[in-house]
Structure 1
């Protein structure tokens, strides 16, 4: 959600928001609700057959062996983001982990469309991303996808295949998509998605290429509840959309915290927040 701070021209704010929403949600557009048949039930075969495996390298440089045919996926961490990448591969119906209560809102309703098993699946982690080992073992996943590096060891110790994902720059997005293309045996689909991704980003780039510096909005992306920006990639979102991030000089690691005094000194033209509730917090503080 965009919160206007000044009377600065609004047209480029729309582009900034559009790109943020594009990165957060376009993965969902790559799959239709009925585009993938339901996953077969476990134990349907009476005669065991050798399981074909493939080995992939994750973002921690670890080689992980996963079945060539993935039927059950558990996601841990920033669930809406990780789930959306699975949706982009056309395998949302394989997700067997539920959303945390904080994600159970209208904003995330399409997760239950693209991932029809999510609504009835147990939650596999705590509010601090601590994995629920018992529930995960009960789910018997073929692969676990996570953005939380700390959960790898306890899951690996129990023989569970864990793939670590991370993204801070645009090229990381491409690596994630190609990695998941390998995991799900969807390399052609991955390349098609990346072609769409590049075309969308280029379309925005052309729209803002000739925008003079004095017309580029100065943008702050923040969680007003914590006064932090926990996503380094937002610096790219803002710049690619034709804006100027006021936190660029200090945002060198994944998370950066700011003070109210810094915000007042920056005097951004636009503040971008995630929810309507966050926007209400800012309005009350004006």
Structure 2
């Protein structure tokens, strides 16, 4: 009897060992490991169905291209679900109005307007709401407006997110590095390609974006430094005017200045540092840039605002204004970091600086092809994306 009991016990132990081994093997098959931008190994479930994102549209845009956007159950930017409109007066009675501006991701995924917000610029992260959404994965992008409060607060945010016990992947935008490098965007795309097991699509997207800016680099590479145009990266911000200035300007250590130096072979007309420097009228006139590039700055600002608004008439004698050498970048709400549309910025600046080198590129048509290649949409949808970034002025070229 004792021998039988002993045999039964041994058999039971062996069964349990094999069962546990099977469970471990199953668990190993249910997850795989990636390294995020912290060089930290993260176990990712092979079946990711619920994702919480905190970015200004970059993560959401990549997921859209990879066919994974429907898995987003919570977002960390109030700028994605919002539909925007702006207007400005002219010297006469006319008012210029711009309506239905939005992030391209919003136009492609209108249902994003209805999902929960877990964070937004100027407010903390709602950890309880994230936990209640029961996500399989959290993906955040440092440098985004919601995560721009400083390194100490960012570290605390990451610590608290990890304490939820949900896999956390951290991406880093170009501006978070000591020297901005737009090629890090390709790394972000490829990492999400790994996570969602869409590596081929991710490679194609990354390669296409890099080919767009490489074309600009090749066409301008032979320009001598003495012949390089001086561009002023200027924001016609109402905030700057309310603080006694005329506009914001971007300095030499920003990603826009990186574009000028590394792809366009042009110079930043403003030699200072910082992204949101407030300059007055006299300072702007003294800079005397060859070209003015208008960036998103507390609103959308087209060249016509600089030409026609009564509060900018004291800048009408600036050489770039008098020569109509002014161009506007696409509407980019919450533009704390560059997103998939960064090649548009590069092409707009390049054509404004050196029109003779890009005379074969019709910007309106180029944009249609760009949106089609980036988001895999038809020409009609590409035209709608051009409109929601308020770039239809390019059709008049």
What TM-score comes out, normalization by structure 1 length?
Answer: 0.68
Question: Aligned partners of 1:199 and 1:54: how far apart in 2?
Answer: 31
Alpha-carbon spacing, 1:200–1:73, altered in 2? closer, same or farther (3 Å): same
User: How far has the Cα of 1:236 moved from its partner?
Assistant: 2.6
2:43 counterpart of 1:65: yes
- Cα distance in 2, alignment partners of residues 92 and 131 from structure 1: 21
Whether 2:68 is the aligned partner of 1:94: answer no
CA separation of 1:90 and 1:65: change in aligned 2, threshold 3 A: same
- The corresponding residue for 1:156 is 162
> After superposition, where does 1:176-195 map in structure 2 within 5 Å?
176-195=188-207
* Alignment correspondent of 2:267: 244
Deviations 1:46-68 (A, max 9, x none): xxx85711221111222222212
Q: Deviations over 1:109-157 (max 9, x none)?
A: 5323433541220111033252111221122222222123442111111
Partner Cα distance (2:133, 2:212) in 1: 37
Q: Indicate yes or no: 2:119 matched with 1:141.
A: no
C-alpha spacing 1:135/1:266, structure 2 compared with 1 (3 Å)? same
Question: Closer, same or farther in 2 for the Cα pair 1:127/1:215, shift >3 Å?
Answer: same
1:84 is matched with which residue: 48, 61, 65?
61
1:174 aligns with 2:192: no
Tell me: CA distance 1:111–1:210, structure 2 relative to 1, closer, same or farther (3 Å): same
CA shift, 1:273, in A, is 1.0
Aligned to 1:43: none
Name the CA shift for 1:242/1:222 in 2 (closer, same or farther; >3 Å): same
Going by fraction, where is helix more abundant, 1 or 2?
2
Please tell me whether Structure 1 or Structure 2 has the larger radius of gyration of its CA atoms: 2
1:124 corresponds in structure 2 to 118
User: In 2, Cα distance between the equivalents of 1:250 and 1:242?
Assistant: 18
The answer for the alignment partner of 2:361 in structure 1 is: none
What is the count of residue pairs matched by the alignment?
A: 233
Gaps of 5+ in 1: 1-48
2-side partners of 1:259 and 1:193: how far apart? 36
SS at match of 1:118: helix
CA contact (8 A) 2:250 2:275 kept: yes
Deviation of 1:210 (Å)? 4.2
| Distance in 2 between residues matched to 1:163 and 1:84, nearest whole Å | 16
Mapped to 2, the partners of 1:161 and 1:222 lie a distance apart of 40
Per the TM alignment, residue 281 of structure 1 is displaced from its structure 2 partner at its CA by: 7.9
> CA contact under 8 A between 2:294 and 2:301: conserved in structure 1?
no
Query: Which residue, 231, 236, 242 being the options, matches 1:219?
Result: 231
CA distance in 1, matches of 2:42, 2:128: 22
SS of 1:74's partner is strand
Partner of 1:25: none
Aligned residue among 279, 288, 306 for 1:267: 288
Closer, same or farther: CA 278–132 of 1 in aligned 2, 3 Å: farther
Contact 1:177 1:190 in 2 (8 A): yes
The 2-side partners of 1:250 and 1:62 are apart by 35
SS in 1 for 2:74: coil
CA distance, structure 2, for counterparts of residue 172 and residue 256 of structure 1: 20
**Per the alignment, in what secondary structure is the counterpart of residue 44 of structure 2?**
strand
- Supply the distance in 2 between the matched residues of 1:154 and 1:97 (Cα, whole angstroms): 17
Task: Quote the residue 1:3 is aligned against.
Answer: none
Shift of residue 274, structure 1, vs aligned partner:
1.5
